[in-house]
């Protein structure tokens, strides 16, 4: 090998403040999301009579139940009403959280049913609609969409004009999502944690989003609708460690610190266009890993890269 180069692109784990310059994308109806002059405030309209729409921030890599992560945001509700549509007289959610963007943006995706949603880790609030009480209801939905979901109601009525701070943190160690609340700077009531059931399969989310879901596709006996406006600010993400750290060449091997839950492949190319896998490893625990090219050949030029993929 006359030339050796290692390529890997990643984002170091950190608590990331999100603002208008962070690389957001809008899917659907752009008028539902407007950045305010203060670049960390977003004016949001949740209108279930409109199509599924998302103010979306792509994550550095997909997250699953094997990852620990968190997100925080401030919420100031300015208006809120449910049951405005005669054929959908019950309540409907407003949401912030993690989704798989390729799933939620397909035509006719239905969030307001038990059979449609997939790959979701969201904070959701339902306003009261007799006989249903208002509730903060974080929800974790697996990739196959089947029950059971991770779900827990905390019966709280959010008020217009109150500054709320929500934190949703998921721990892979005990498969539990914990949510906390502050109201005008003081601690709010305790909220129910979500413990993933033993027979919960898995989720895979790749995007943080403020989401407006359409109320189409609901069961006709339980249909709800919502129209709400508010400001969301101080958005932050806390993401897990990079799957690859401290990559070096040592004694003809590529040595790095790797995380479990990933498949690491060593790929080679002579032109940086066509790549071939020559070695791979799928570790069970975090620690030092090694990959090497065992082929017996002489190359004029050879490039190498290490890629991390979910199994």
The rounded mean pLDDT for the chain is 90
- For 38-70, the pLDDT digits (tens) are 788 999 999 999 999 999 999 988 999 988 999
- For 197-240, the pLDDT digits (tens) are 999 999 999 999 999 999 999 998 889 999 999 999 999 999 98
State residue 218's pLDDT score.
Answer: 95
What distance in Å separates the CA atoms of residue 71 and residue 69, rounded to the nearest whole number? 7
State residue 14's pLDDT score.
Answer: 67
Q: To which residue do tokens 């170091």 refer?
A: 12
Q: For residues 84 and 199, state if they share a domain.
A: yes
Q: For residues 153 and 45, state if they share a domain.
A: yes
| Domain contains 164 | yes
State residue 213's pLDDT score.
Answer: 98
What secondary structure letter does DSSP report for 149?
Answer: P
What distance in Å separates the CA atoms of residue 204 and residue 221, rounded to the nearest whole number? 31
Q: For residues 41 and 169, state if they share a domain.
A: yes
Q: For residues 185 and 289, state if they share a domain.
A: no
Q: For residues 252 and 210, state if they share a domain.
A: no
Q: For residues 250 and 133, state if they share a domain.
A: no
Q: How many CA atoms lie within 13 A of 66 on its CB side?
A: 14
Q: For residues 156 and 277, state if they share a domain.
A: no
Please report, for the domain that includes residue 87, its CATH number: 2.60.120
- For 121-154, the pLDDT digits (tens) are 999 999 999 889 999 988 999 999 999 999 999 9
Q: For residues 51 and 123, state if they share a domain.
A: yes
What distance in Å separates the CA atoms of residue 29 and residue 265, rounded to the nearest whole number? 40
Q: For residues 285 and 163, state if they share a domain.
A: no
Determine contact, residues 185/163, Cβ cutoff 8 Å: yes
Identify the residue with better confidence: 79 or 256.
79
Neighbours of 96 (CB within 10 A): 22
Q: For residues 102 and 251, state if they share a domain.
A: no
User: Helix, strand or coil for residue 292?
Assistant: coil
Of 238, 273, 291, the residue that ends a domain is: 238
| Domain contains 4 | no
Q: For residues 216 and 119, state if they share a domain.
A: yes
User: Helix, strand or coil for residue 32?
Assistant: helix
Q: Residue 259: give the domain boundaries.
A: 243-309
Q: For residues 51 and 193, state if they share a domain.
A: yes
């Amino acid at each position: 090998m006359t030339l050796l180069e290692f390529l890997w692109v990643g984002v170091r784990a950190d608590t990331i403040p999100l603002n208008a310059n962070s690389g957001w994308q809008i899917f659907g109806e752009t008028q539902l999301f407007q950045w305010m002059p203060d670049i960390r405030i977003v004016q949001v309209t949740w209108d279930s009579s409109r199509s599924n729409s998302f103010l979306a921030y792509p994550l550095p890599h997909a997250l699953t139940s094997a990852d620990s992560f968190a997100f925080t945001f401030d919420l100031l509700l300015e208006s809120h009403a449910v049951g405005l549509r005669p054929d959908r007289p019950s309540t409907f959610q407003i949401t912030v959280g993690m989704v798989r963007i390729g799933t939620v943006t397909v035509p006719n995706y239905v969030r307001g049913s038990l059979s449609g949603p997939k790959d979701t880790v969201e904070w959701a609030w339902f306003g009261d609609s007799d006989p249903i009480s208002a509730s903060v209801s974080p929800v974790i939905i697996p990739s196959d969409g089947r029950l059971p979901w991770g779900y827990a109601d905390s019966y709280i009525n959010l008020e217009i004009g109150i500054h709320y701070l929500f934190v949703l943190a998921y721990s892979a160690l005990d498969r539990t999502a914990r949510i906390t609340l502050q109201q005008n700077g003081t601690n709010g009531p305790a909220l129910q944690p979500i413990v993933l059931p033993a027979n919960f399969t898995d989720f895979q989310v790749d995007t943080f989003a403020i989401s407006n879901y359409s109320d189409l596709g609901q069961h006709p006996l339980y249909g709800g609708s919502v129209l709400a406006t508010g400001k969301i600010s101080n958005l932050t993400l806390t993401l897990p460690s990079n799957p690859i750290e401290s990559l070096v060449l040592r004694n003809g091997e590529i040595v790095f610190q790797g995380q479990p839950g990933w498949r690491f492949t060593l790929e080679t190319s002579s032109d940086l266009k066509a790549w071939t896998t020559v070695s791979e490893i799928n570790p069970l625990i975090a620690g030092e890993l090694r990959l090497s090219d065992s082929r017996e050949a002489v190359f004029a030029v050879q490039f190498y890269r290490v890629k991390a993929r979910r199994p």
